[in-house]
Copies of this chain bind each other. A is one copy, B any other.
Protein backbone atom coordinates (compact mmCIF):
# COMPACT_ATOMS: atom_id res chain seq x y z
CA UNK A 1 0.00 0.00 0.00
CA UNK A 2 1.33 3.35 -1.04
CA UNK A 3 0.37 5.61 1.73
CA UNK A 4 2.84 4.65 4.40
CA UNK A 5 5.49 6.11 2.11
CA UNK A 6 3.87 9.53 1.92
CA UNK A 7 6.29 12.11 3.24
CA UNK A 8 6.23 15.81 2.60
CA UNK A 9 9.22 17.94 1.72
CA UNK A 10 9.72 21.16 3.65
CA UNK A 11 7.97 24.27 2.44
CA UNK A 12 11.05 25.74 0.80
CA UNK A 13 11.17 23.25 -2.01
CA UNK A 14 8.35 25.03 -3.86
CA UNK A 15 9.08 27.68 -6.49
CA UNK A 16 7.73 31.22 -5.96
CA UNK A 17 4.03 31.09 -6.82
CA UNK A 18 1.63 33.52 -8.49
CA UNK A 19 2.54 35.40 -11.63
CA UNK A 20 4.13 38.52 -10.16
CA UNK A 21 7.50 39.90 -11.30
CA UNK A 22 9.43 37.60 -8.91
CA UNK A 23 7.37 34.48 -9.61
CA UNK A 24 8.71 31.26 -11.06
CA UNK A 25 6.07 31.56 -13.76
CA UNK A 26 7.68 34.80 -14.97
CA UNK A 27 11.25 33.66 -14.32
CA UNK A 28 11.57 30.23 -15.78
CA UNK A 29 12.75 31.07 -19.28
CA UNK A 30 15.77 28.83 -18.75
CA UNK A 31 13.52 25.93 -17.89
CA UNK A 32 11.34 26.84 -20.90
CA UNK A 33 14.49 26.56 -23.02
CA UNK A 34 14.90 23.03 -21.70
CA UNK A 35 11.32 22.20 -22.65
CA UNK A 36 11.78 23.59 -26.15
CA UNK A 37 15.03 21.74 -26.72
CA UNK A 38 13.48 18.49 -25.57
CA UNK A 39 10.26 18.86 -27.54
CA UNK A 40 11.54 17.25 -30.69
CA UNK A 41 13.28 14.48 -28.73
CA UNK A 42 10.07 13.63 -26.85
CA UNK A 43 8.09 13.54 -30.09
CA UNK A 44 10.63 11.25 -31.73
CA UNK A 45 10.91 9.10 -28.62
CA UNK A 46 7.17 8.50 -28.50
CA UNK A 47 7.11 7.73 -32.22
CA UNK A 48 9.91 5.18 -31.94
CA UNK A 49 9.45 3.68 -28.50
CA UNK A 50 5.76 3.78 -27.56
CA UNK A 51 4.05 0.64 -28.74
CA UNK A 52 0.32 0.48 -28.12
CA UNK A 53 0.31 -3.12 -29.27
CA UNK A 54 2.47 -4.21 -26.37
CA UNK A 55 1.41 -1.52 -23.86
CA UNK A 56 -0.63 -2.84 -20.93
CA UNK A 57 -3.48 -0.60 -22.04
CA UNK A 58 -6.98 -1.65 -21.12
CA UNK A 59 -8.95 -1.31 -24.34
CA UNK A 60 -12.25 -1.15 -22.39
CA UNK A 61 -10.92 2.07 -20.96
CA UNK A 62 -10.13 4.71 -23.56
CA UNK A 63 -8.09 6.96 -21.27
CA UNK A 64 -4.34 7.44 -21.61
CA UNK A 65 -2.86 8.74 -18.35
CA UNK A 66 0.06 11.15 -18.15
CA UNK A 67 1.76 12.63 -15.08
CA UNK A 68 4.26 15.46 -14.79
CA UNK A 69 6.32 15.02 -11.62
CA UNK A 70 7.49 18.39 -10.30
CA UNK A 71 5.32 20.57 -12.53
CA UNK A 72 5.64 23.89 -10.58
CA UNK A 73 3.05 26.46 -11.68
CA UNK A 74 3.09 26.46 -15.46
CA UNK A 75 3.12 27.45 -18.23
CA UNK A 76 6.07 25.13 -19.01
CA UNK A 77 4.22 22.06 -17.81
CA UNK A 78 1.30 22.84 -20.15
CA UNK A 79 3.59 23.07 -23.19
CA UNK A 80 5.30 19.82 -22.25
CA UNK A 81 2.02 17.97 -21.71
CA UNK A 82 0.43 19.25 -24.92
CA UNK A 83 3.46 18.12 -26.86
CA UNK A 84 3.24 14.63 -25.34
CA UNK A 85 -0.48 14.36 -26.11
CA UNK A 86 0.07 15.35 -29.72
CA UNK A 87 2.79 12.75 -30.18
CA UNK A 88 0.77 10.01 -28.43
CA UNK A 89 -2.28 10.77 -30.61
CA UNK A 90 -0.07 10.53 -33.67
CA UNK A 91 1.36 7.19 -32.67
CA UNK A 92 -2.07 5.82 -31.72
CA UNK A 93 -3.45 6.86 -35.08
CA UNK A 94 -0.45 5.32 -36.85
CA UNK A 95 -0.99 1.98 -35.09
CA UNK A 96 -4.79 1.88 -35.13
CA UNK A 97 -5.97 3.81 -38.10
CA UNK A 98 -9.69 3.60 -37.56
CA UNK A 99 -10.05 3.35 -33.80
CA UNK A 100 -11.87 6.08 -31.87
CA UNK A 101 -9.66 8.85 -30.51
CA UNK A 102 -7.99 8.46 -27.12
CA UNK A 103 -9.10 10.43 -24.08
CA UNK A 104 -6.38 11.85 -21.85
CA UNK A 105 -6.07 12.44 -18.13
CA UNK A 106 -3.12 14.49 -16.88
CA UNK A 107 -1.85 14.55 -13.30
CA UNK A 108 0.12 17.63 -12.30
CA UNK A 109 2.38 16.80 -9.38
CA UNK A 110 4.35 18.98 -7.03
CA UNK A 111 4.85 19.41 -3.28
CA UNK A 112 1.72 20.47 -1.32
CA UNK A 113 3.14 23.98 -0.84
CA UNK A 114 3.42 24.51 -4.60
CA UNK A 115 1.06 27.21 -5.87
CA UNK A 116 -1.62 24.91 -7.28
CA UNK A 117 -4.12 27.79 -7.23
CA UNK A 118 -2.13 29.58 -9.95
CA UNK A 119 -1.63 26.32 -11.83
CA UNK A 120 -5.36 25.53 -11.84
CA UNK A 121 -6.44 29.07 -12.75
CA UNK A 122 -4.16 29.05 -15.79
CA UNK A 123 -5.26 25.68 -17.15
CA UNK A 124 -6.47 26.27 -20.68
CA UNK A 125 -10.30 26.26 -20.65
CA UNK A 126 -10.40 24.42 -24.00
CA UNK A 127 -7.77 21.83 -23.12
CA UNK A 128 -8.10 18.39 -24.61
CA UNK A 129 -7.53 16.51 -21.35
CA UNK A 130 -9.01 15.93 -17.92
CA UNK A 131 -6.74 17.59 -15.35
CA UNK A 132 -5.93 16.67 -11.77
CA UNK A 133 -3.47 18.01 -9.22
CA UNK A 134 -1.29 15.59 -7.29
CA UNK A 135 0.06 17.16 -4.10
CA UNK A 136 3.01 15.35 -2.51
CA UNK A 137 6.71 14.63 -2.90
CA UNK A 138 7.60 12.50 -5.90
CA UNK A 139 9.99 10.67 -3.60
CA UNK A 140 7.04 8.49 -2.61
CA UNK A 141 3.92 6.85 -4.10
CA UNK A 142 1.33 9.22 -5.57
CA UNK A 143 -0.87 7.14 -7.88
CA UNK A 144 -2.53 3.72 -7.78
CA UNK A 145 -0.73 0.63 -9.05
CA UNK A 146 -0.28 0.29 -12.81
CA UNK A 147 -2.41 3.24 -13.87
CA UNK A 148 0.06 5.51 -15.64
CA UNK A 149 1.05 5.25 -19.31
CA UNK A 150 3.48 8.13 -19.59
CA UNK A 151 5.46 10.00 -16.93
CA UNK A 152 7.70 12.99 -17.29
CA UNK A 153 9.85 15.00 -14.94
CA UNK A 154 11.54 18.09 -16.17
CA UNK A 155 14.42 19.71 -14.40
CA UNK A 156 13.51 18.41 -10.93
CA UNK A 157 15.52 15.31 -10.09
CA UNK A 158 18.72 17.26 -9.49
CA UNK A 159 16.84 18.40 -6.34
CA UNK A 160 17.55 16.01 -3.52
CA UNK A 161 14.92 15.09 -0.94
CA UNK A 162 17.21 16.68 1.65
CA UNK A 163 20.73 18.00 2.22
CA UNK A 164 22.90 15.05 3.29
CA UNK A 165 23.29 15.65 7.01
CA UNK A 166 27.06 14.95 7.12
CA UNK A 167 27.84 17.98 4.97
CA UNK A 168 26.40 20.40 7.54
CA UNK A 169 27.76 18.52 10.55
CA UNK A 170 30.91 20.17 11.91
CA UNK A 171 31.95 16.87 13.49
CA UNK A 172 31.81 14.93 10.22
CA UNK A 173 34.77 14.48 7.84
CA UNK A 174 32.23 15.41 5.11
CA UNK A 175 31.58 18.84 6.65
CA UNK A 176 31.38 21.29 3.74
CA UNK A 177 32.56 24.43 5.52
CA UNK A 178 32.95 27.48 3.31
CA UNK A 179 30.81 26.18 0.45
CA UNK A 180 27.07 25.89 -0.10
CA UNK A 181 27.24 23.21 -2.79
CA UNK A 182 28.83 19.97 -3.83
CA UNK A 183 31.68 21.65 -5.70
CA UNK A 184 33.48 18.38 -6.33
CA UNK A 185 36.67 19.45 -4.57
CA UNK A 186 36.24 17.46 -1.35
CA UNK A 187 35.95 13.70 -1.74
CA UNK A 188 33.87 13.12 1.41
CA UNK A 189 31.39 15.84 0.48
CA UNK A 190 30.96 14.44 -3.01
CA UNK A 191 30.48 10.96 -1.56
CA UNK A 192 27.74 12.14 0.80
CA UNK A 193 25.91 14.04 -1.96
CA UNK A 194 26.27 11.16 -4.39
CA UNK A 195 24.89 8.65 -1.86
CA UNK A 196 21.87 10.87 -1.22
CA UNK A 197 21.28 11.22 -4.96
CA UNK A 198 21.51 7.47 -5.46
CA UNK A 199 19.04 6.81 -2.64
CA UNK A 200 16.59 9.48 -3.88
CA UNK A 201 16.72 8.31 -7.50
CA UNK A 202 16.11 4.77 -6.38
CA UNK A 203 13.10 5.85 -4.31
CA UNK A 204 11.77 7.79 -7.30
CA UNK A 205 12.24 4.89 -9.71
CA UNK A 206 10.61 2.40 -7.33
CA UNK A 207 7.55 4.62 -6.81
CA UNK A 208 7.14 5.21 -10.56
CA UNK A 209 7.70 1.52 -11.30
CA UNK A 210 4.60 0.73 -9.25
CA UNK A 211 2.53 3.41 -10.97
CA UNK A 212 3.56 2.90 -14.61
CA UNK A 213 2.09 0.04 -16.65
CA UNK A 214 4.31 -2.45 -18.47
CA UNK A 215 5.55 -0.84 -21.69
CA UNK A 216 4.80 2.65 -20.36
CA UNK A 217 7.37 5.37 -20.93
CA UNK A 218 9.06 7.94 -18.71
CA UNK A 219 11.03 10.96 -19.86
CA UNK A 220 13.44 12.43 -17.34
CA UNK A 221 15.18 15.69 -18.02
CA UNK A 222 17.57 16.81 -15.35
CA UNK A 223 20.61 19.00 -14.86
CA UNK A 224 23.91 17.18 -14.78
CA UNK A 225 27.58 17.35 -15.64
CA UNK A 226 29.63 15.90 -18.49
CA UNK A 227 31.57 12.80 -17.40
CA UNK A 228 34.75 13.71 -15.54
CA UNK A 229 33.80 17.34 -14.92
CA UNK A 230 33.18 18.70 -11.41
CA UNK A 231 30.87 21.56 -10.40
CA UNK A 232 33.64 24.03 -9.67
CA UNK A 233 34.72 23.74 -13.31
CA UNK A 234 31.27 24.51 -14.70
CA UNK A 235 29.59 27.86 -15.15
CA UNK A 236 26.64 26.84 -13.01
CA UNK A 237 28.99 25.82 -10.17
CA UNK A 238 30.63 29.25 -10.34
CA UNK A 239 27.17 30.80 -10.16
CA UNK A 240 26.34 28.89 -6.94
CA UNK A 241 29.83 29.67 -5.59
CA UNK A 242 29.17 33.38 -6.13
CA UNK A 243 25.80 33.08 -4.36
CA UNK A 244 27.55 31.25 -1.50
CA UNK A 245 30.23 33.92 -1.25
CA UNK A 246 27.53 36.58 -0.76
CA UNK A 247 26.24 34.61 2.22
CA UNK A 248 29.79 34.24 3.61
CA UNK A 249 30.33 38.00 3.10
CA UNK A 250 27.24 38.71 5.16
CA UNK A 251 28.56 36.52 7.98
CA UNK A 252 31.82 38.51 7.88
CA UNK A 253 29.79 41.72 8.17
CA UNK A 254 27.99 40.17 11.15
CA UNK A 255 24.62 40.24 9.40
CA UNK A 256 24.23 36.45 9.61
CA UNK A 257 25.80 34.18 12.23
CA UNK A 258 28.68 32.02 11.04
CA UNK A 259 26.93 28.97 12.40
CA UNK A 260 23.89 29.72 10.22
CA UNK A 261 26.13 29.92 7.17
CA UNK A 262 27.97 26.70 7.99
CA UNK A 263 24.73 24.81 8.40
CA UNK A 264 23.42 25.82 4.98
CA UNK A 265 23.95 23.77 1.84
CA UNK A 266 21.97 23.46 -1.36
CA UNK A 267 20.02 20.20 -1.80
CA UNK A 268 21.24 19.98 -5.39
CA UNK A 269 23.33 17.33 -7.09
CA UNK A 270 24.52 17.43 -10.68
CA UNK A 271 25.17 13.86 -11.74
CA UNK A 272 27.08 12.39 -14.69
CA UNK A 273 25.35 10.17 -17.22
CA UNK A 274 27.54 7.22 -16.15
CA UNK A 275 26.32 7.64 -12.60
CA UNK A 276 22.63 7.77 -13.61
CA UNK A 277 22.96 4.84 -15.98
CA UNK A 278 24.39 2.73 -13.18
CA UNK A 279 21.54 3.67 -10.80
CA UNK A 280 18.85 2.84 -13.38
CA UNK A 281 20.47 -0.50 -14.23
CA UNK A 282 20.85 -1.52 -10.59
CA UNK A 283 17.24 -0.47 -9.89
CA UNK A 284 16.14 -2.87 -12.62
CA UNK A 285 12.57 -1.71 -13.23
CA UNK A 286 13.16 0.18 -16.47
CA UNK A 287 15.14 -0.22 -19.67
CA UNK A 288 17.07 2.76 -20.95
CA UNK A 289 15.71 3.48 -24.42
CA UNK A 290 17.43 6.81 -25.02
CA UNK A 291 20.17 8.52 -23.04
CA UNK A 292 21.33 11.79 -24.45
CA UNK A 293 22.15 15.32 -23.42
CA UNK A 294 20.45 18.52 -24.44
CA UNK A 295 22.28 21.58 -25.54
CA UNK A 296 20.56 24.94 -25.52
CA UNK A 297 21.28 28.61 -25.24
CA UNK A 298 21.43 29.64 -21.58
CA UNK A 299 22.42 33.27 -21.80
CA UNK A 300 20.56 36.05 -23.54
CA UNK A 301 22.54 38.15 -26.00
CA UNK A 302 23.10 41.28 -23.95
CA UNK A 303 25.16 41.16 -20.77
CA UNK A 304 22.73 43.40 -18.89
CA UNK A 305 19.79 41.14 -19.53
CA UNK A 306 21.96 38.12 -18.66
CA UNK A 307 22.62 39.55 -15.23
CA UNK A 308 18.98 40.39 -14.66
CA UNK A 309 17.85 36.97 -15.80
CA UNK A 310 20.48 35.31 -13.59
CA UNK A 311 19.40 37.15 -10.49
CA UNK A 312 15.63 36.91 -10.99
CA UNK A 313 15.79 33.30 -12.15
CA UNK A 314 17.89 32.33 -9.12
CA UNK A 315 15.54 34.20 -6.87
CA UNK A 316 12.40 32.47 -8.17
CA UNK A 317 14.01 29.11 -7.47
CA UNK A 318 16.07 29.70 -4.31
CA UNK A 319 14.22 32.37 -2.33
CA UNK A 320 11.93 29.92 -0.49
CA UNK A 321 14.84 27.63 0.30
CA UNK A 322 16.94 30.50 1.67
CA UNK A 323 14.05 31.94 3.67
CA UNK A 324 13.55 28.64 5.42
CA UNK A 325 17.08 28.90 6.78
CA UNK A 326 17.76 32.63 7.05
CA UNK A 327 15.56 35.57 8.09
CA UNK A 328 13.70 37.06 5.15
CA UNK A 329 15.40 40.48 5.55
CA UNK A 330 18.74 38.68 5.31
CA UNK A 331 17.56 36.93 2.13
CA UNK A 332 16.61 40.31 0.66
CA UNK A 333 20.18 41.51 1.31
CA UNK A 334 21.71 38.31 -0.05
CA UNK A 335 20.03 38.95 -3.39
CA UNK A 336 21.12 42.61 -3.36
CA UNK A 337 24.73 41.54 -2.81
CA UNK A 338 24.32 38.83 -5.41
CA UNK A 339 23.06 41.21 -8.11
CA UNK A 340 26.06 43.48 -7.53
CA UNK A 341 28.59 40.65 -7.37
CA UNK A 342 27.23 39.06 -10.54
CA UNK A 343 27.51 42.38 -12.38
CA UNK A 344 31.11 42.86 -11.17
CA UNK A 345 32.17 39.32 -11.98
CA UNK A 346 30.10 38.38 -14.97
CA UNK A 347 33.18 37.87 -17.13
CA UNK A 348 34.17 34.76 -15.13
CA UNK A 349 31.44 32.90 -16.99
CA UNK A 350 33.09 33.66 -20.31
CA UNK A 351 36.12 31.92 -18.94
CA UNK A 352 34.20 28.90 -17.65
CA UNK A 353 35.96 25.86 -19.04
CA UNK A 354 32.74 23.84 -19.14
CA UNK A 355 29.01 24.08 -19.11
CA UNK A 356 26.71 21.75 -17.27
CA UNK A 357 24.49 19.58 -19.43
CA UNK A 358 20.89 18.48 -19.27
CA UNK A 359 20.38 14.76 -19.33
CA UNK A 360 17.58 13.50 -21.54
CA UNK A 361 16.57 9.98 -20.56
CA UNK A 362 13.75 7.92 -22.00
CA UNK A 363 12.89 4.84 -19.96
CA UNK A 364 10.48 2.00 -20.62
CA UNK A 365 8.82 0.09 -17.79
CA UNK A 366 9.59 -3.64 -17.91
CA UNK A 367 6.71 -6.08 -18.11
CA UNK A 368 6.46 -8.06 -14.90
User: Are B130 and A132 in touch, CB under 8 angstroms?
Assistant: no
A144 with B6, Cβ < 8 A, contacts A112-B121, A116-B117, A116-B133 known: no
Check A101 for interface membership: any CB of B closer than 8 A: yes
Q: Which B residues are CB-close (under 8 A) to A129?
A: 3
**Interface 9-residue window, one of A134-142, A191-199, A297-305:** A134-142
Closest partner residue, chain B, to A103 (CB atom):
B1
Whole-angstrom distance between the Cβ of A104 and the nearest chain B Cβ: 8
Whole-angstrom distance between the Cβ of A328 and the nearest chain B Cβ: 19
How many angstroms between the C-alpha atoms of A62 and B101 in the bound complex? 28
Q: Which of A157-173 contact B (CB under 8 A)?
A: none
A134 with B132, Cβ < 8 A, contacts A63-B145, A105-B144, A116-B116 known: yes
How many angstroms between the C-alpha atoms of A262 and B191 in the bound complex? 72
Closest partner residue, chain B, to A136 (CB atom):
B131
Check A8 for interface membership: any CB of B closer than 8 A: yes
User: Are B6 and A125 in touch, CB under 8 angstroms?
Assistant: yes
How many angstroms between the C-alpha atoms of A350 and B103 in the bound complex? 54
How many angstroms between the C-alpha atoms of A129 and B136 in the bound complex? 12
Identify whether the interface residues of A are mostly helix, strand, loop, or mixed. loop
Whole-angstrom distance between the Cβ of A99 and the nearest chain B Cβ: 13
Contact with B along A245-265 (1 / 0, CB 8 A): 000000000000000000000
How many angstroms between the C-alpha atoms of A116 and B143 in the bound complex? 19
Whole-angstrom distance between the Cβ of A182 and the nearest chain B Cβ: 29
How many angstroms between the C-alpha atoms of A123 and B133 in the bound complex? 13
Q: Which B residues are CB-close (under 8 A) to A62?
A: 144-145
User: Are B128 and A3 in touch, CB under 8 angstroms?
Assistant: yes
Contact with B along A136-156 (1 / 0, CB 8 A): 100001111111000000000
User: Are B146 and A130 in touch, CB under 8 angstroms?
Assistant: no
User: Are A63 and B144 in touch, CB under 8 angstroms?
Assistant: yes
User: Are A123 and B112 in touch, CB under 8 angstroms?
Assistant: yes
Whole-angstrom distance between the Cβ of A46 and the nearest chain B Cβ: 20
User: Are A120 and B145 in touch, CB under 8 angstroms?
Assistant: no
User: Are A133 and B130 in touch, CB under 8 angstroms?
Assistant: no
Closest partner residue, chain B, to A4 (CB atom):
B126
Q: Which residues of A contact B (CB under 8 A)?
A: 1-3, 6-8, 17, 60-63, 65, 101, 103, 105, 107, 112-113, 115-117, 120-121, 123, 125-136, 141-147
